[in-house]
């Protein structure tokens, strides 16, 4: 018994040693916020750095210059002088920049103790290997589970109609097995209803991966133009998939609403533009510009869109307007409307086949 206790203690000690930085970070997040004195110098530095980052990275340079003019004017007029709370300053700056740009992705956030983190100004990992390199090997399974938990749900609705609920698009390399399992379970259905009504967005590459299951050949999807490099990257569907391909012929209906955002909108917009799916619900959130975090002070960061999605089919995107449904329905009625529409589609298809024979 004593040996077992000693062995467990040794294992725990090893875990603590290897996971120490992550445990410290976790404890800091749980602990009380550090007290931050928001003085005039900090306010000025925050505004000035925000202006510089916008001029360097925002996807529309002319809008960045307009924002600069507004923020400098308000700073000179002393509009920010009375703000002593970091959260209120971040809220006011967000309102001011959106007053000019109308860009729902763009925002300023106050994060006391941000100097403890390396996430702002650091690009997202581009591969599973890079993600694993950044994450302690003992905590990787936990973090992967937390990132993907509840993001995909599969069900059957009767009449051999599949139901796939996707509530987010974490990094493609974390979701590949989830999508593969889901599509394997749905491969034999006659039609599919996809529920994106509460999809908060995520990784455009995960969108590309999932769209790939619904085409029969190599297909060009949304392009992304990058302000920092001036380059346009074409996104094409994957030729090889881990799960069974659903194909490009069976009917697909997509449920959307005001809570469908960003990458969720990307999926719906792309499938609609390709005429691969019928979209049912209400207009979506309206954010089409991929965003990156930039540190603008010791305790502040800004989410700045530095890229722009461009559909090769429409030549545009859903920024500011959202994805417009093909069939209108309130969020609480969208699934019922979709089920009736799917029954009608499948009945018409069956009647056509019967007539041909």
Buried/exposed 45-58: b ≥16 CB within 10 Å, e otherwise? ebbbbbbebbeebb
> Last residue of some domain: 82, 116, 150?
116
163 vs 186: CA distance, rounded Å: 8
The enclosing domain of 168 has a CATH number of 3.90.226.10
Does 17 map to a domain? no
Best CA proximity match to 250, nearest among 194, 176, 326: 194
| Domain annotation covers residue 123 | no
Model confidence pLDDT, tens digit, residues 103-114 = 999 999 998 876
Shared domain check, 220 and 344: yes
Cβ burial 209-238 (10 Å sphere, 16+ → b, else e): bbbbbbbeeebebbbbbebeeeeeeebebb
Ranges in the chain, pLDDT < 70:
1-34, 114-148, 352-357
Residues 112 and 164 in one domain: no
Q: State residue 22's pLDDT score.
A: 47
Q: Are residues 77 and 155 in the same domain?
A: no
Is residue 22 in some structural domain? no
User: Residue 158: its pLDDT value, please?
Assistant: 87
Q: Which of 101, 116, 131 is where one domain is finished?
A: 116
Q: Which of these, 170, 286, 288, lies nearest to 223 by C-alpha position?
A: 288
Domain count, the chain: 2
- Residue 118 is predicted with a pLDDT of 46
- Return the pLDDT at 38: 87
Residue 182 lies inside a defined structural domain of this protein: yes
Among 52, 83, 116, the domain boundary falls at: 116
Give pLDDT, residue 150. Answer: 73
Q: Which phi and psi angles does 236 have, rounded to 5°?
A: -115, 150
Are residue 165 and residue 304 in the same domain, yes or no? Answer: yes
Same domain for 162 and 96? no
Residues 180 and 261 in one domain: yes
Indicate whether 133 belongs to any domain: no
159 in the same domain as 74: no
Q: Which domain holds residue 291?
A: 141-356
Are 78 and 150 part of one and the same domain? no
243 and 146 share one domain: yes
214: helix, strand or coil: helix
pTM (predicted TM-score): 0.83
Where does residue 354 rank: exposed (0-12), middle (13-18), buried (19+ CB within 10 A)? exposed
Task: Identify whether residues 107 and 149 lie together within a single domain.
Answer: no
Q: Looking at the structure, do residues 97 and 149 belong to the same domain, yes or no?
A: no
| 129 found inside a domain | no
Would 13 be classed as within a structural domain?
A: no
18 located within any domain: no
> CA of 34: how far to CAs of 29, 37, 92, 120, 184, in Å?
10, 10, 22, 18, 49
What pLDDT, on the 0 to 100 scale, is given for residue 37?
A: 80
The answer to whether 268 and 284 have CB atoms below 8 angstroms apart is yes
CA max distance for the chain: 81
Task: Mark whether 97 and 150 lie in a shared domain.
Answer: no
């Amino acid at each position: 018994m004593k040996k077992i206790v000693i062995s467990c203690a040794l294992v725990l000690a090893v875990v603590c040693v290897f996971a120490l930085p992550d445990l410290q970070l976790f404890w800091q997040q749980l602990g009380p916020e550090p007290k931050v004195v928001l003085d005039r110098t900090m306010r000025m530095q925050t505004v000035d750095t925000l202006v510089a980052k916008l001029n360097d990275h925002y996807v529309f340079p002319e809008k960045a210059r307009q924002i600069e003019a507004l923020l400098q004017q308000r700073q000179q007029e002393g509009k920010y002088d009375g703000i002593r709370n970091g959260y209120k300053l971040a809220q006011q700056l967000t309102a001011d920049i959106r007053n000019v740009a109308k860009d729902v992705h763009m925002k300023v956030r106050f994060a006391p103790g941000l100097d403890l983190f390396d996430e702002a100004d650091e690009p997202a990992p581009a591969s599973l290997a890079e993600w694993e390199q950044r994450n302690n090997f003992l905590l990787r399974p936990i973090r992967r589970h937390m990132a993907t938990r509840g993001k995909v749900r599969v069900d059957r609705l009767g009449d051999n109609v599949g139901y796939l609920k996707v509530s987010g698009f974490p990094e493609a390399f974390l979701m590949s097995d989830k999508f593969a399992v889901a599509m394997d379970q749905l491969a034999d259905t006659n039609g599919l209803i996809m529920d994106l009504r509460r999809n908060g967005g995520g990784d455009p590459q995960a969108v590309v991966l999932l769209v790939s299951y619904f085409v029969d050949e190599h297909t060009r999807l949304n392009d992304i133009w990058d302000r920092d490099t001036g380059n346009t990257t074409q996104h094409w569907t994957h030729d090889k998939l881990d799960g069974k391909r659903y194909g490009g012929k069976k009917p697909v209906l997509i449920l959307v609403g005001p809570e469908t955002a960003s990458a969720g909108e990307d999926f719906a917009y792309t499938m609609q533009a390709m005429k691969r799916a019928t979209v049912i619900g209400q207009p979506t959130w309206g954010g089409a510009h991929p965003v990156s975090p930039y540190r603008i002070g010791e305790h502040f960061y800004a989410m700045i869109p530095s890229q722009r999605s461009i559909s090769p089919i429409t030549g545009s995107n859903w920024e500011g307007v959202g994805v417009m449904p093909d069939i209108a329905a309130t969020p609480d009625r969208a699934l019922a409307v979709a089920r009736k529409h799917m029954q009608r589609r499948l009945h018409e298809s069956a009647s056509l086949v019967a007539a041909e024979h």
